[in-house]
Chains A and B, each alone.
Chain A
Amino acid sequence: MRWLIAGLFFALAISLMIATAAIRAQNVAERRAIQKIYDAVQDRDKELLRLGFEGLESASPERLAQLHREWLERELERREESFR
């Protein structure tokens, strides 16, 4: 009986050791995945800020007026073409 108990305790110790190592490894793997997500969020945050400021610049009255003027010129050319 005592041999059985001793064997079970030994198996338990080995299992605990393996489980601990596995959990720690899983922890690192999860943290590594979080780090990747964190980096991706950082990257997108920078992209978002850039797009925000670019949007602000492209929506300035001067820029919109320029775009409108270009559009009108193209429309004029198109109508002249169709008239001919």
Chain B
Amino acid sequence: MKPGELLRVRVAFGALGAVPIFLAGWLGWLQVAQAGTVKRRSGEPLPLIAKTADRQGWRVETVPAPRGTVVDRNGFTLAADCATYEVRARITVPIKCRRDLTKFRPWVQRIVDGFALALVADPDTPNRAAVHKKQRARLAKVIAKAWSIDKLPETGKWPEKHSQVAEFLVSTGVDRLRVIDALRGYHMSDDYPTIVLDFLHSYRRVYPERELTHGIVGHINSFEIKQPKGGVRLQTYGMSGLESFKVLEPREGTTRRFLADGRRRPYFVAPVHDAIDVVQLHSTLDIELQRAAVRELTAMCEKGLRNNPKKKAKWGALVLIELQTGDVLASASWHRDSKYAEGSSFTPYQNRFEPGSIVKPLVLSYANEVGAINWDQTFDCSPRGGTYRERIRSLGRRVVDDHACGELSAHGILLNSSNIGAAYVGLELSREQWQDYMRAYGFGRSLGLNLPSESIGGNHPKSFDPKTPLRRFRRDSAISFSFGYELTTTALQVARAYTRMFQGLGAELRMVRGVEVDGDWHDVPVKQDTGPHYRPEVVDAVRQAMVDVVSNDPHATGHYLHAAMLKELNVDLHGIIGGKTGTAASSVGVGGGRKISARNASFVGFTPTENPRYLAVCVLQKDDSASFYGGSYAAPPAVKLLLQCQDLAERGQLRQERRSKLGGQTQLSPWRVAPSRAAPVGEGLRTPGSQGWSGPVGAGVPSETR
């Protein structure tokens, strides 16, 4: 090698060797000599290290947790979460618009039109034209506000201090594929490179049988209310029914990490960190019976009084209970003057009424149990008899029956629904016993179901005032309590009272069978057969009297019902349905200190008569003083419901099994369904979209699966 060549080689290799030395020196300079921190906007220090640089590319998307699913006793979904997107836009004004403001407003208008069209991209969108018009107007308003367009000059260049970036909500609840695709088409597209759309995970609450379950399953939404003078007001009714239960409050969600490239385009790293386990609340409702209850109650109320649709009841309530468990199988509500079911009270536990004669079996059973009466003894129930004068008129009180009754046994008092007879029985009870009666049957006490805005009712505040003389208590309260006056209650409280008579005084109603949280079943215990029990002969005597009430005996208050059902359904109810009719006339406060006279028609019925298993309570209230009888108006819906319940039970469709696995249309996680947790084919209903989902659902499901 020549000396010149050797020199060149040394220079070349020396240069190559200098590169790593330079890099190492640079690294040392940056990482050691220049290492330090800068302050973030929040004031926190940001270390200037390589890890920080790596982190700049990391992104995290939050996946919120759903509220959970509410299912009926057969696994049919009553409320669930439907995964949707909340789409937010972050748009920077492009340079051509910043240079020439005359191009800006047409550019904005194109975005508004484009987004509005994208939001109705699905031709199946209901009221598509109206929705498009509404979205277009809303987006124009939102974008104008986001860029403060009214403060921008018409021409010239973009003002330096005016923000170039607008961030706004494009839409919530986006779950139509064509809409999603159309919106994704705008995300950093070639035509609109400065538009960045974020698709945030969200949920929309869905209720597959909404019309049937407004009150009992409840709602969490807000509703637009049209104002009489025009305009719309957003009314949030808050949570009600089962939706108000704490277990359905959304829990902590999960996250998914991804990376972003230099152009902020996301790229995949991993799926969601942890699958979200959906809480499943198993209610005691049976959707088929709920459907029947709503249908029967609505039919009776809409038919109007004496078949006159212009004369309708003010409100109605119908509930169905399974006596052995206290399970509320169905619970229906009806209002005459309500346009929005969401905003109306749910009558079975929120509307109070004076129960009238339906409490007589409760009074007589209590009096018989405590030995205040002998079931076989007779009472002279004639208003002209000496007993009446001596025991009732002497107190200064008048009690009347709607038909003349003579000598009646306790059985006869119930059969004839004699107020005078019931008053005799009531006068046999002491003030303390009446207090015990209220306590035993739960009048004036919460149902304990944790339902919001529950009406408690109960006796008049002065009924048991120690300052009230005993004679006045006997004259006013004891006699009134005997036939269901001076006392307000709700349909579900009446159902509980009867459940206690049949199943023990510790019995309670149940609206939730259990909750599945993280795959663990948490049972809600049955409280039947707890507390003191009435003697079997006491319950049997009352039961037999109630069976005879629904017969063709001309003195029985249920004879009209018996005849009507024989004619309408060709069913002889005697021996099939037992029950008690009730009618009460009372004054009801309507606010502002005003009171109106109201009449309540009520009925309590049970089946089978030998060993009662199902109990129905129906109440209708009307706001005038015209005649209105429980046997004519309240009894038919309750009886029809009981007959359907019996029919379903005979077909084996009323089953109640504890579910150890998830069922219903509940999705475990919309992002990652654990295969081992998914319900196997053939068991219950499916997750929408899962295998077998296209099979029959609801009423069409064969009896083995319902």
> Which A residues contact B (CB, under 8 angstroms)?
10, 28, 31-32, 34-35, 38-39, 42-53, 55-57, 59-62
Contacts and interface: CB of A to CB of B under 8 A. Distances in A.
B211 interface: yes
Given A52-B688, A53-B665, A35 B267 contact: yes
A42 B671 contact: yes
Interface string B686-706: 011100010011111000000
B667 interface: yes
Contacts of B687: 52
Nearest to A53: B206
B607 to A, nearest CB: 23
A32 B208 contact: no
A60 B268 contact: no
B83 A49 contact: yes
B371 interface: no
A31 B269 contact: yes
A32 B265 contact: yes
B456 interface: no
B574 interface: no
B267 A52 contact: no
10 contacts: A35-B258, A39-B199, A45-B671, A46-B177, A47-B175, A48-B688, A48-B689, A49-B82, A50-B82, A56-B77
B369 interface: no
A49 B175 contact: yes
Contacts of A32: 261, 265-268
A49 B268 contact: no
Interface of B: 16, 77, 80, 82-85, 175-177, 180-181, 184, 199, 206, 208-209, 211, 258-259, 261, 265-269, 271, 291, 665, 667, 670-671, 687-689, 693, 696-700
Nearest to A47: B177
Top 6 A-B pairs, shortest CB-CB distance: A52-B688, A48-B689, A47-B177, A31-B267, A34-B268, A35-B268
Contacts of B670: 42, 45-46, 49
B699 A61 contact: yes
A1 to B, nearest CB: 13
Given A55-B688, A56-B698, A47 B265 contact: no
Secondary structure call for the A interface: helix
A59 B693 CA distance: 13
A50 B180 CA distance: 13
A16 B332 CA distance: 75
Contacts of A34: 267-268
Contact of A46 (B175, B184, B211): B175
Nearest to A52: B688
A14 B260 CA distance: 28
Contacts of B258: 35
Given A31-B259, A32-B265, A49-B689, A56 B176 contact: no
Given A47-B175, A52-B688, 19 more contacts: A10-B16, A31-B259, A35-B267, A42-B671, A45-B671, A46-B84, A49-B82, A50-B82, A50-B176, A52-B687, A53-B82, A53-B665, A56-B208, A56-B665, A56-B697, A59-B698, A60-B698, A60-B699, A61-B291
Contact of B697 (A10, A42, A51, A59): A59
Contacts of A45: 83, 670-671, 689
Contacts of B16: 10
B261 A47 contact: no
B669 to A, nearest CB: 10
A34 B258 CA distance: 11
Nearest to A41: B671
B693 A61 contact: no
Nearest to B667: A49
Contacts of B80: 53
A35 B270 CA distance: 9
Contacts of A55: 688, 697
Most buried by A among B177, B687, B697: B177
Contact of B693 (A10, A43, A52): A52
Given A49-B83, A49-B175, A28 B261 contact: yes
Most buried by B among A28, A60, A62: A60
A33 to B, nearest CB: 8
B700 A59 contact: yes
B208 A53 contact: yes
Contact of B177 (A31, A44, A53, A57): A44
Contacts of B209: 60
B186 to A, nearest CB: 14
A53 B184 CA distance: 24
Contacts of B206: 53
A57 B258 CA distance: 37
A27 B266 CA distance: 13
Most buried by B among A10, A32, A46: A46
Contacts of A61: 291, 698-699
Contacts of B267: 28, 31-32, 34-35
A68 B467 CA distance: 66
A32 B263 CA distance: 12
B225 to A, nearest CB: 24
A17 B679 CA distance: 51
Contact of A50 (B175, B265, B271, B665): B175
B180 A62 contact: no
A51 B688 contact: yes
A46 B85 contact: yes
Contacts of B693: 52
A14 to B, nearest CB: 12
Contacts of A57: 208
A45 B687 CA distance: 11
A62 B83 contact: no
A10 B19 CA distance: 13
Contacts of B697: 55-56, 59
Contacts of A39: 184, 199
